[in-house]
Amino acid sequence: MKKVEVVAGIIFYEDQVLCVQRPKNKLLYISEKFEFPGGKIEQGETRKEALNRELKEELSISVKIKSFFLTVVHKYPDFELTMHSFLCHVDSKKLTLNEHIDQKWLHINELRPLDWAAADIPIVDKLVANE
């Protein structure tokens, strides 16, 4: 099974968290699901470097990475995903959706009802439990 290692940002503006929606995809289990933004780690990059690069590419934003949050290993039907998530902060909600189709800034207690990608659910669960 193919293994993919990625990073994700749990991005806070004040007391709200950024949730972004993936576009349609031939893989129905991730098509139009919500996720924490991020992406693949490239050769020679640290996790934080990869996260900063991906957030600039996907959302045209710069974040302050505060701390590591959680690593999730999830087996999708076609690949195994290892996702390292980090707590981040931004000074503004201003961003550009370069790859995603929707965004929501939500309080932690509003996260659960979204249709999340399966690998992101443990992050949501830990955020809600720590609230």
Q: What pLDDT is recorded for position 79?
A: 93
Residue in the block written with tokens 């505060």: 66
Domain count, the chain: 1
Q: What is the reported pTM?
A: 0.96
- Give the CATH number for residue 78: 3.90.79.10
What does the pLDDT read at residue 131? Answer: 85
How far from 70 is each of 32, 105, 123, CA to CA, in Å? 23, 21, 7
pLDDT of residue 30: 93
pLDDT at 128: 97
Q: Write the single-letter amino acid at 31.
A: S
CB 76 within 8 A of CB 103: no
Range of the domain at 62: 2-130
pLDDT given at position 67: 98
Distance CA 77, CA 38 (A): 21
Segment-wise mean pLDDT, segments of 10 residues, the chain, 131 residues: 96 98 94 98 97 98 98 96 98 97 98 98 97 85
